[in-house]
Structures are given as structure tokens and as C-alpha cells.
Amino acid sequence: MSLRAVELLNKVEASSKRAEPLKFEIGDTVNIHTRILEGDKERIQIFTGVVIAQRGGGTRETFTVRRIVAGEGVERTFPMHSPKISKLEVVRHGKVRRAKLFFLRDRVGKKTRLVERRATKKDTPEVPAS
């Protein structure tokens, strides 16, 4: 694919990307607010869980969130730029050392918890000294 083609594709994709990127990191516990259409009514559903993976690029970028429901592991993969995601809140930062947390799938009970990471420099925007 030529460079020009990539540029054109980027232009096309720009229209489908969200203006402000969702801010979270792998290992974070997040609340995802999704718009759901029921008949003619729209309501918001919240899915809470740990972000265990992020993949893809451009408009195809997705992230996977895992949680335990009634003792059963449930994973949902969301398109990063989906307009159906109205809001994403980070509840808790997990201390992790890898990009994919698939090891959580093999863990049960208390072991599924991640050690909380306290706010670091990265989380608080630097205030320029005046």
C-alpha cells in the first residue's frame, strides 16, 4: 500500500474516531457506560471490570474488559472509538507489568485481584512551575 493510500485511509478514519481518546491503562478497573437502544428508548448500561488487553489500530482499535459474574468469568471487547461508549471512568489503577493480562483467566477467587497502584507522576498532569 502506498503512502498516499495510508494518508487517505487516515483521513477517512479520522471522521470515525472520538475527539478525545479514552484515558485508561492496562490493569485499570473501569466503568464503561454504553448506550443501549431498547425499542425507541435509549438507556445506559454500565459494565465494570479490569482492562486485560488492548489491540489494533485506527478505528479498529479495541480493548477487552474482564469481570467475574456469579462465579463465571465474563469478557467483553469494546471498539475503542465506538460512539456507543458514552463514558469511561477509571475506578482503580492496577499494578501490572505486562500489556496482556491473560494470566487472570486462569486465576480464581482472591487471586484475581491486582495490587493497587498509587497515583504516580504519569496520572497527575505536571503543573509548570511559575
Partner 1 sequence: MPVGLLGRKVGMTQIFDEAGTAVSVTVIEAGPCVVLQVKTPERDGYTSVQVGFGEKPRRLATRAERGRMIDLGGKRAKARELQKTPEGPRPGGEPPRFIKEFRLKEGEAAPAVGDKLTVASFAEVAFIDVVGKNKGRGFAGVMKKYNFSGLRASHGTQRHHRAGGSIAAHATNRGWSGRIKKGKRMSGRWGNEQVTVRFLKVVRIDTENNLVLVRGSVPGPPGAYVMLNQTAKKVPVPQVAKKKKK
Q: Which of 83, 109, 125, 128 binds partner 1 (CB under 8 A)?
A: 83
For 56-123, where are the E strands, in sequence order?
62-69, 72-79, 85-92
- Pick from 43, 23, 26: which is nearest to 34 by CA? 43
3-state DSSP: the chain helix, strand, coil percent, rounded to 5? 20, 40, 40
Name the residue nearer to partner 1 (CB basis): 50 or 88. Answer: 88
Could you say whether residue 44 binds partner 1 (CB under 8 A)? no
Cell readout for 63 is: 480493548
Name the residue nearer to partner 1 (CB basis): 84 or 113. Answer: 84
DSSP 36-62: EEETTEEEEEEEEEEEEEEE--GGG-E
Q: Which of 35, 67, 73, 90 binds partner 1 (CB under 8 A)?
A: 35
Name the residue nearer to partner 1 (CB basis): 9 or 108. Answer: 9
Q: Residue 58 CB: number of other CB atoms within 10 A?
A: 14
Q: Which of 3, 19, 20, 39 binds partner 1 (CB under 8 A)?
A: 39
Name the residue nearer to partner 1 (CB basis): 58 or 73. Answer: 58
Could you say whether residue 38 binds partner 1 (CB under 8 A)? yes
Where along the sequence are the contacts to partner 1 (CB under 8 A)?
A: 1-2, 5, 8-9, 11-13, 15-16, 35, 37-39, 58-60, 79, 81-84
